[in-house]
Amino acid sequence: MTSPEENEKSPLPKSEADWKAKLTPEQYHVLREKGTERAFTGAYWNSNEPGIYRCAGCGEKLFTSMSKFHSGCGWPSFTDPADNSGVAEATDRTHGMVRMEVTCSKCGGHLGHVFDDGPAPTHKRYCINSVSMVFQKEKK
């Protein structure tokens, strides 16, 4: 897997075979096949370190630790994206539910879902798969 800095500079894979070569099997399943990691198993669900969460597929800046909160759902939760241009939202009608899917606006990778049950002031809970992100520690 490449670092966030390398991802920002390298071109996006052009085919699904290229994506499979770039990502781990679990990253591929979540980012490209819209899968979900099991709750309470991801690297970042309980993390408190300051820094930036970037897309594991392309390095796009998605969320910061400043908007992260503990929702108790088992996945990293954020009140808002780092920059509204980094994520996209679309209606997801799979599994007999209607939810808002969150994807990376740069590579289209599936990140998770957003719900309207978060804390003030946004009342949003961006429920994101750890495996869909890489963490970049804040430099001191």
Catalytic residues: 127
Which class for 92: exposed (0-12), middle (13-18), buried (19 or more C-beta within 10 A)? middle
Q: What is the DSSP letter of 117?
A: -
Within 10 Å of residue 54's Cβ, how many Cβ atoms? 24
Beta bridge partners of 133: 55
* HSE-up (13 A, CA, CB side) for residue 116: 3
Joined tokens for residue 85:
């241009």
3-class SS string, 45-74: CCCCCCEEEEECCCCCEEEEHHHEECCCCC
